C-alpha cells in the first residue's frame, strides 16, 4: 500500500517522517511528507489517527530537551487517539473499529495513519468524547497520580497548583473536585482573567489567585478560612514555585512536573529546616516504567469512568486540520492561549 500516510517529520534533526522518504508533495506544507505504509504483520495493527494534541513535551522533544528522545527520523506527537482499521493474524487485544492511544511516548501521533505493534497501543472506550480520548493518556493520568501518590489527602483538604489553566491543571481541578479536595489555583494575570476564572470555576476550581495576588500579605487571612495545603503541584518553577512553597503546610510536599518558566526551583533554607517541606518530582513515563501495562490500563479506565460521570472533560481545545499544523504549532507556543491545539486528521 503506498503513499497514504501523511506524517509530520521534524527538522533540522529529522528530515523524514518514517522509514521511506518519498519525493516531497508540492501540495503539502513543509514538514508534512507522504510515507509508504508498512505491510500489516502478524502482531501489527493498522491505525487511522483521528486527533492528536500538541503538548509542551512534544515541543521539548523536537527541541531535544526532553528526558526521552526518539530515534531519528521520527514523527512528532506523543499523545492522540486513532481507530483500528485492520489487525494482523496474531493480534488478540484489539479489533477493527476500536479506539487506541499510545502505550508510551515517542509513538508519533501527528500523522494520518500508521502500522504499529499491538504492544505499542492501549484500547480506550469509544463512548467518550473524541477530544477526551485524544488528551487522556498524559495529562489526566499525571494529574491523578500526583493527587493520590504523594500525600494522603482527605476530603476537605486543599491542594495548591500553578499554571492552573494548563491541560494538567484543568485535570487536577476536576479530579480533585471528584475526590472532594479543594483546589487553590494560581494563574498568570491576563486581560481576560475573569473569563478564564469563570471557566475554571465551572470545572470545579474552589479558589483562583493570580501570581501577584499570591505574594500579597492578604493571603494570610485567606488561609484563616481555607486549610493550608499539604500538596503543591508545580508546573512552572522559578518564583512561582517559591511562592507555592511559602504557602505549603509544614511537612507538606511540592511535586514538580513541569518547568514552563525555564527557571530553577528555589526553596529557602528556612522552608526546608523549619517547615520540613519535601521537594519531589513526577514523570509519567517513569511511573509507567515502574508499573505494569495493566496498571496503566486500570488508570485509564478510572479516568474514563470520571469522564462518563461528567466529572472530567477535555481541556479547552482548538481543533486544527493536520495540514495547518504550522498554525497550530505557532499557537501552542504563545502565552495566555488557554486552549490546547488538537490536530485532526
Catalytic (active-site) positions:
66
Q: How far is the CB of 13 from ligand NAP (least distance, A)?
A: 19
Q: How far is the CB of 142 from ligand NAP (least distance, A)?
A: 4
Q: In terms of CB distance, is 9 or 259 closer to ligand NAP? A: 259
Among residues 87, 103, 236, 304, which is the contact residue for ligand NAP, using CB under 6 A? 236
Query: Within 10 A of 215 (CB to CB), how many other CB atoms are there?
Result: 14
| Angle at CA of residue 6, ends 82 and 10, nearest 5° | 100
Query: Within 10 A of 67 (CB to CB), how many other CB atoms are there?
Result: 11
Give SS3 for 318. strand
Q: How far is the CB of 64 from ligand NAP (least distance, A)?
A: 14
- Check binding of 258 to ligand NAP (CB under 6 A): yes
Give SS3 for 221. helix
Compute the distance between CA of residue 57 and CA of residue 139 in angstroms, rounded to an integer. 11
Residues 75 to 134 in contact with ligand NAP, rule: CB under 6 A? none
Q: How far is the CB of 252 from ligand NAP (least distance, A)?
A: 19
Among residues 219, 260, 279, 326, which is the contact residue for ligand NAP, using CB under 6 A? 260
Q: In terms of CB distance, is 24 or 129 closer to ligand NAP? A: 129
- Check binding of 167 to ligand NAP (CB under 6 A): yes
Compute the distance between CA of residue 239 and CA of residue 212 in angstroms, rounded to an integer. 11
78 backbone dihedrals φ, ψ, rounded to 5°: -110, -15
Q: How far is the CB of 246 from ligand NAP (least distance, A)?
A: 17
Question: Minimal CB distance to ligand NAP: which residue?
Answer: 258
Q: In terms of CB distance, is 91 or 343 closer to ligand NAP? A: 343
Nearest to 103 by CA among 125, 126, 80: 80
- CB–CB of 255/168 below 8 Å? no
Residues 136 to 165 in contact with ligand NAP, rule: CB under 6 A? 138-139, 142, 163, 165
Query: Within 10 A of 9 (CB to CB), how many other CB atoms are there?
Result: 24
Q: In terms of CB distance, is 163 or 184 closer to ligand NAP? A: 163
- Check binding of 222 to ligand NAP (CB under 6 A): no
Angle formed by the axes of helices 167-178 and 139-149, to 10°? 50
Cis peptide before 12 (omega within 30 of 0): yes
Residues lying near ligand NAP in the complex (CB under 6 A) are found at 55-57, 138-139, 142, 163, 165-169, 188, 235-236, 257-258, 260-261, 282-284, 335-336, 338, 340
Amino acid at each position: 500500500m503506498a503513499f497514504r500516510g501523511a506524517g509530520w517529520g521534524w527538522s533540522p534533526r529529522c528530515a523524514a517522517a518514517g522509514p521511506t522518504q518519498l519525493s516531497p508533495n508540492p501540495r503539502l506544507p513543509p514538514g508534512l511528507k507522504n510515507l509508504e505504509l508498512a505491510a500489516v504483520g502478524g502482531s501489527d495493527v493498522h491505525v487511522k489517527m483521528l486527533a492528536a494534541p500538541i503538548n509542551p513535551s512534544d515541543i521539548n522533544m523536537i527541541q531535544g530537551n526532553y528526558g526521552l528522545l526518539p530515534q531519528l527520523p521520527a514523527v512528532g506527537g506523543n499523545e492522540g487517539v486513532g481507530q483500528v482499521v485492520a489487525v494482523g493474524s496474531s493480534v488478540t487485544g484489539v479489533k477493527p473499529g476500536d479506539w487506541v492511544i499510545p502505550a508510551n511516548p515517542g509513538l508519533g501521533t501527528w500523522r494520518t495513519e500508521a502500522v504499529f505493534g499491538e504492544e505499542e497501543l492501549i484500547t480506550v472506550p469509544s463512548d467518550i468524547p473524541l477530544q477526551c480520548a485524544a488528551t487522556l493518556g498524559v495529562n489526566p493520568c499525571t494529574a491523578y497520580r500526583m493527587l493520590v501518590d504523594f500525600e494522603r489527602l482527605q476530603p476537605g483538604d486543599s491542594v495548591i497548583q500553578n499554571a492552573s489553566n494548563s491541560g494538567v491543571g484543568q485535570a487536577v481541578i476536576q479530579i480533585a473536585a471528584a475526590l472532594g479536595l479543594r483546589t487553590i489555583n494560581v494563574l498568570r494575570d491576563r486581560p481576560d482573567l475573569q473569563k478564564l476564572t469563570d471557566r475554571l470555576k465551572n470545572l470545579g476550581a474552589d479558589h483562583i489567585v493570580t501570581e501577584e495576588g499570591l505574594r500579597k500579605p492578604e493571603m494570610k487571612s485567606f488561609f484563616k478560612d481555607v486549610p493550608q495545603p499539604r500538596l503543591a503541584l508545580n508546573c512552572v518553577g522559578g518564583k512561582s514555585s517559591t511562592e507555592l512553597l511559602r504557602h505549603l503546610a509544614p511537612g507538606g510536599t511540592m511535586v514538580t512536573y513541569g518547568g514552563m518558566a525555564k527557571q530553577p526551583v528555589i526553596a529557602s533554607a528556612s522552608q526546608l529546616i523549619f517547615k520540613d517541606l519535601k521537594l519531589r518530582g513526577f514523570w509519567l513515563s517513569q511511573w509507567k516504567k515502574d508499573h505494569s501495562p495493566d496498571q496503566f490500563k486500570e488508570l485509564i479506565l478510572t479516568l474514563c469512568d470520571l469522564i462518563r460521570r461528567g466529572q472530567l472533560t477535555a481541556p479547552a481545545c482548538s481543533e486544527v486540520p493536520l495540514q495547518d499544523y504550522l498554525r497550530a504549532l505557532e499557537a501552542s507556543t504563545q502565552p495566555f492561549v488557554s486552549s490546547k491545539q488538537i490536530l485532526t486528521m
